[in-house]
Amino acid sequence: MTAATKEHEPNGAYGPMRRKEDARFIRGCGTFVDDIQLPGMLHGAILRSPLAHARITSIDTLAAEGHPKVKAVITGQTLAELGLAWMPTMSQDVQAVLATDKVRFQGQEVAFVVAEDRYAARDALELIDVSYEPLPPVVDAHRALDPDAPLIRDDIAGQTDNRIFDWAAGDRARTDEIFAAADVTVAQDMLYPRVHPAPLETCGTIADMDKVSGKLTVWSTSQAPHAHRTLYALVTGLPEHKIRIISPDIGGGFGNKVGIYPGYICAIVGSILTGKPVKWMEDRSENLMSTSFARDYHMHGEIAATKEGKILGLRVKVLADHGAFNGAAQPTKFPAGFFGVFTGSYDLRTAHCEITGVYTNKAPGGVAYSCSFRVTEAVYLVERMVDVLARELGIDPAELRMKNLLRPAQFPYTSATGWEYDSGDYPRALRLAMDIAGYPELRREQAEQRARPGPQPGHPGTLMGIGMSFFTEAVGAGPRAHMDILGLGMADGADLRVHPTGKAVLAISVQTQGQGHETTFAQIVAQELGISPDDVEVVHGDTDRTPFGLGTYGSRSTPVSGAATAVVARKVRERARIVAAAMLEAAAEDLEWADGRWQVRGDPDKGKNIAEIAMAAHSGLELPDGVEGHLDATTVYNPPNLTYPFGAYICVVDVDPGTGRVRVRRFIAVDDCGVRINPMIVEGQVHGGLADGLGMALMQVIAFDPEGNCLGGSFMDYLLPTSMECPSWELGTTVTPSPHHPIGAKGVGESATVGSPAAVVNAVIDALAPYGVRHADMPLTPAAVWRAIQGRPLRSDLAIT
Amino acid sequence: MQITMSVNDTEYSAEVEPRLLLIHFIRDNLGLTGSHWGCDTSNCGACVVWLDETPVKSCTVFAAMADGHRVRTVEGLERGGELDPVQQGFTECHGLQCGFCTPAMMMTARWLLDNNPDPSAGEIREALSGQICRCTGYENIVRSIRWAAEHEAADRAGAPGEFGDSVQEAAG
């Protein structure tokens, strides 16, 4: 901890700094996948299933093949002949690339057309004739395990029902004991509905197979280019060194661009078959209906406490709807992601959760949308349960939280389910949030409003609600002994080259989708080497030019690659020390690093900076035996633990009881992500996450009708927050460095998305307290709020009320 | 069909299908890829360009409808090698992250400031309400446009001055 604070002097390279990448974006000069045009490039389009569950009896592609601009039509049959009809998912399941036997969700990929332009490709889809024999769909997750439920995955040998996994964590017997003896226990069912990350740029790819060299180049909207390369090698049998993945500028990811989608494989096959580059970009409906959804956790929570409000234990049962294929991307040992951190920020003696994953006739996915591998669901569960308990006990939710939060002296803290929290000062963060909010005044205002006749049930007027959440995140996966994606350990490399004039090039494995890596990672190198961030070029997004690593998701860039960057820069600095010693004719151990240079201890006039040392390292200067020239270094960082950022959020809403409309009046967010490399970027990430959370709490849902028709297939149906719904965010900061991270930093990209939905929902439920409403599921649309007021809550995952 | 239009003060003529969308014409035919496509349904506004003097969602305009008109895109914001104050504001106030919505946001912002040189935060939010940003939560976009408004006001007054909360360069 002390090392971290010492490293982070405010006058160093850390601090707000304009982003290097802005120069191209503000001029419209970014390069997104769809911006790329290659000579002779063809365009692909996918024919999708209109039905949620049906057997394919025939596919007639003759007319499409006859279209003058069509170059190829690919079906599951074509792929089966190549052994590519099915591909592995990132969760030990398989997924159909193009359906051969059945379609298992509406929007599933059935055929792929390659044509001269994107309009012709779409025209030709209309010419393909597919005959379906409809089958009863499984839409309601709660019915998926009924004895008479239709079997979705009859392709898997030995699969007799729709169960994917059963997973549990914690001590069941001990938890049951505590619950049996507790003064107070409260239970609540809640749904974290299916949502979609919906980055503004949809997913897409350009595949270019060079027949002569046998090299496949893939430009892709990928958050994890190296993982994609390895997976393509495993799926297609192409040698890995003959595959190059380029992730150019990416228009937002949020987890949507972690997985490999059938369209990517089809574009590759299309390029192999036609000998031309093939571009495939999905449209918005395809994006919303077929690529990684998130959440869909049906949770039953129970909380036990003393009558004074000391929380004793938590017990949770989850039904997890994974859709038709288990396409979640998560470490092998964690089928429910990191849901195991559901004890949250509190000092609980015991906890137990059991999770059952089921197949339904819906799009696959699961871990996406800035969820930190299901920490989102876990935080929502515990933060709603604490509010439910507060209501039961008649204690203010802030007071209840303050009473139960972990204390600074308890860190490092091992939770009841075995997670080791690295560092934290929780009460300080909560106090700061309450100070910024003016919490007592807000409660006073609310009490006065409730005392007036206006906002009472049956009367017009607004209902003020105040909600809070306190979250602990678990990010930066992760220790390779425990965490992997398809057997690939979650360690990331970094290469740092220092040119003779002292300018540096850093190559990293993670992939920005707007996080500003070209700036922040340059700042880390600059801080370590005493040079300007402007003198550091960051290379990323190209597997031919960067070291192997698992990519950017789960807020892992700074915890893992940020650490790798600091470590590799320190290796360079140590090499520089030896060279400096030769230059200064001193012993290396007599040098100290100060003011951004190596200098003789006690004689600050004798020193050399990195530029001077780099030139000498490339010169004829005689170096000690065994010391190579140059300063370049490389490293692989295997994180010893996750990092645990945390924060306290307070939301103030005004609800119109006549219409159910919720207006977010204020939102206060105090985040502690350890040392901040570029606070401007951190705050921007928090802003974005807060908007996400507000959207999920109030607007966003991918719902289905009883036939399995997706009801969220466009931005007219899947509502995202605009500038009108978002308040002016009020932020606060505390800094508790991570003790095990080289610069004391923690991940932050998903903190606000994880922490904010519970604060918004708690605020709305608080507003509805006069009506006796204890819970209502997200999204709290006007209809949902109005129904909750009427005592008839809406079921938001299905168009069934 | 044959169409002719001026895009960023350059005349273009092309033979196009009547159904070709303006956004595809601008991006694929002219190679001006700063304007983006995002949703098909006129909800996201990533495709906003100016048709004559008015911002339009170019995914919902046929190229043929722009025949004989002037189009202005993000590539036409910079004048004589000088960034538009709106462009400066976005980088000063961190008004962008992934950069995908940014060009269209800036086109709307330019239009707003041309019509209302001193907009309040509420007026800015209203002007942007037909566009979606998934990264910024809008706050820094509002600040960016305010930065541009203040900068332009100071320029009009002829006094170089303090321009809002611009980001300081970190010392190297």
Q: For A341-388, what is each residue's pLDDT tens digit?
A: 999 999 998 999 999 999 999 999 877 889 999 999 999 999 999 999
What average pLDDT does this structure show over A196-222? 97
Nearest to B100 among A13, A26, A32 (CB): A32
A50 touches chain B (CB under 8 A): no
CA dist A128 to A31, A105, A265, B131, Å? Answer: 34, 19, 20, 36
Specify whether the CB–CB gap between A692 and A514 falls below 8 A.
Answer: no
Is the ipTM here above 0.85? Answer: yes
Q: Which residues of A touch B132 (CB under 8 A)?
A: 200, 715, 720, 722
pLDDT at A7 over 60: no
Strand-pair partners of B6:
B11, B70
**Smallest CA–CA distance from A253 into chain B, residue:** B98
What does DSSP say about strands A215-220 and A243-246: parallel, antiparallel, or unpaired? parallel
Q: Which residues of B touch A514 (CB under 8 A)?
A: 96-99, 135
Specify whether the CB–CB gap between A644 and A637 falls below 8 A.
Answer: no
Residues of chain B with pLDDT below 70 are 159-172
pLDDT grade, residue A457 (50/70/90)? low
A19 touches chain B (CB under 8 A): yes
Q: What is the pLDDT of residue A627?
A: 83
Q: Which DSSP symbol is given to A562?
A: I
pLDDT grade, residue A739 (50/70/90)? very high
B72 touches chain A (CB under 8 A): no
Residue A546, SS3 per DSSP: coil
**Smallest CA–CA distance from A119 into chain B, residue:** B20
- pLDDT, one tens digit per residue, over A660-677 is 999 999 999 999 999 999
Q: What is the pLDDT of residue A720?
A: 98
Question: Which of B23, B75, B110, B138 to mutate against chain A (most A CBs within 10 Å)?
Answer: B138
CA angle B163, B164, B167 (to 5 degrees): 95
Size of interface A-B (CB pairs under 8 A): 202
Q: Which DSSP symbol is given to A420?
A: E
**Smallest CA–CA distance from A29 into chain B, residue:** B34
B34 touches chain A (CB under 8 A): yes
Q: Could you give all domains of chain A from N- to C-terminal order, each with its CATH number?
A: 2-26+491-637 (3.30.365.10), 31-379 (3.30.365.10), 405-413+422-476+642-801 (3.30.365.10)
Instruction: Give me the residues of A, 701-730, that contact B with CB < 8 A.
Output: 714-716, 720, 722-724, 726, 728-729
Rounded CA gap, A115 and A70, in Å? 4
Q: Which residues of A touch B71 (CB under 8 A)?
A: none
> What letter represents residue A612's amino acid?
E
Helix, strand, coil percent values for chain B (each to nearest 5): 40, 15, 45
- pLDDT, one tens digit per residue, over A223-255 is 999 999 999 999 889 999 999 999 999 999 999
**Smallest CA–CA distance from A687 into chain B, residue:** B137
Sign, Cα dihedral of A609, A614, A620, A621 = positive
Q: How does the average pLDDT of chain A come out, rounded?
A: 95
CATH number of this structure's domain B2-76, picked from the four choices 3.40.50.1000, 3.30.1300.10, 3.40.50.300, 3.10.20.30: 3.10.20.30
A52 touches chain B (CB under 8 A): no
From the centroid of its chain, how far is CA A59?
A: 38
Rounded CA gap, A773 and A302, in Å? 18
Question: Which tokens go with B60?
Answer: 């919902």
Question: Which tokens go with B51?
Answer: 């048709």
Residue A650, SS3 per DSSP: strand
Strand-pair partners of A475:
A643
| First vs last C-alpha separation in chain A | 53
- Mark yes or no for CB contact A515/B92 under 8 Å: no
Rounded CA gap, A624 and A588, in Å? 11
B16 touches chain A (CB under 8 A): no
B116 touches chain A (CB under 8 A): no
Strand order in the sheet with A633-637: A536-539, A504-508, A492-498, A633-637
Q: Which residues of A touch B32 (CB under 8 A)?
A: 28
pLDDT grade, residue A717 (50/70/90)? very high
Rounded CA gap, A219 and A255, in Å? 18
Strand-pair partners of A129:
A60
B52 touches chain A (CB under 8 A): no
B164 touches chain A (CB under 8 A): no
* Fold match flag (B2-76 vs B85-156): no
Specify whether the CB–CB gap between A248 and A539 falls below 8 A.
Answer: no
Rounded CA gap, A219 and A324, in Å? 28
Count of C-beta atoms within a 10 Å radius of residue A119: 17
Distance of residue B68 Cα from the nearest chain A Cα, in angstroms? 24
Residue A401 neighbours by CB under 8 Å, 6+ apart: A345, A346, A386, A430, A468, A470
pLDDT at A544 over 90: yes
Strand-pair partners of A54:
A103, A134
Is the omega angle on the peptide bond into residue A478 within 30 degrees of 0, that is, cis?
yes
pLDDT grade, residue A427 (50/70/90)? very high
Residue A395, SS3 per DSSP: coil
Percent of chain A with pLDDT over 70: 97
Q: What is the pLDDT of residue A800?
A: 60
Instruction: Give me the residues of A, 174-203, that contact B with CB < 8 A.
Output: 198-202
Which of A20, A35, A28, A376 shows the shortest CA–CA distance to A201? A35
Q: What is the pLDDT of residue A216?
A: 98
Q: Which residues of B touch A252 (CB under 8 A)?
A: 97-98, 100, 134-135
- Mark yes or no for CB contact A27/B34 under 8 Å: yes
What average pLDDT does this structure show over A171-182? 98
**Angle between the B139-156 and A679-698 helix axes, to the nearest 10 degrees?**
120
The domain spans of chain B are 2-76, 85-156
Which of A354, A335, A484 shows the shortest CA–CA distance to A417? A354
> What letter represents residue A698's amino acid?
L
Rounded CA gap, A686 and A708, in Å? 35
Question: Which of A18, A26, A223, A536 to mutate against chain B (most B CBs within 10 Å)?
Answer: A26
Residue A184, SS3 per DSSP: strand
Nearest to B94 among A23, A29, A680 (CB): A680
Residue A664, SS3 per DSSP: strand
Output A478 or A73, whichever has higher pLDDT. Answer: A73
pLDDT at A599 over 50: yes
B17 touches chain A (CB under 8 A): yes
Question: Which tokens go with A16?
Answer: 């707000």
A572 touches chain B (CB under 8 A): no
B40 touches chain A (CB under 8 A): yes
- Mark yes or no for CB contact B75/A534 under 8 Å: no
Instruction: Give me the residues of B, 85-104, that contact A with CB < 8 A.
Output: 87, 90-92, 94, 96-103
CA dist B25 to A32, A798, B45, B76, Å? Answer: 17, 40, 17, 16
Helix, strand, coil percent values for chain A (each to nearest 5): 30, 25, 45
Q: What is the pLDDT of residue A662?
A: 98
pLDDT at A799 over 90: no
Question: Which tokens go with B160?
Answer: 């170089």
A595 touches chain B (CB under 8 A): no
What does DSSP say about strands B2-7 and B48-51: parallel, antiparallel, or unpaired? unpaired
- pLDDT, one tens digit per residue, over A475-522 is 999 899 999 988 999 999 999 999 999 999 999 999 999 999 999 999
CATH architecture of the domain formed by B85-156 = Orthogonal Bundle (1.10)
**Smallest CA–CA distance from A198 into chain B, residue:** B134
**Smallest CA–CA distance from B26 into chain A, residue:** A35
B49 touches chain A (CB under 8 A): no
Residue A515, SS3 per DSSP: coil
- Mark yes or no for CB contact B170/A17 under 8 Å: yes
pLDDT at A131 over 60: yes
Residue A693, SS3 per DSSP: helix
Distance of residue A714 Cα from the nearest chain B Cα, in angstroms? 7
Output A459 or B17, whichever has higher pLDDT. Answer: B17
pLDDT at A133 over 50: yes
- Mark yes or no for CB contact A22/B91 under 8 Å: yes
Q: What is the pLDDT of residue A456?
A: 56
Rounded CA gap, A303 and A561, in Å? 38
**Smallest CA–CA distance from A728 into chain B, residue:** B139
Distance of residue A694 Cα from the nearest chain B Cα, in angstroms? 10
Question: Which of B132, B134, B165 to mutate against chain A (most A CBs within 10 Å)?
Answer: B134
pLDDT at A5 over 50: no
A18 touches chain B (CB under 8 A): yes
Which of A551, A477, A467 shows the shortest CA–CA distance to A755? A467
Which of A49, A376, A26 shows the shortest CA–CA distance to B93? A26
Strand-pair partners of A664:
A653
Q: What is the pLDDT of residue B66?
A: 98
From the centroid of its chain, how far is CA A78?
A: 34
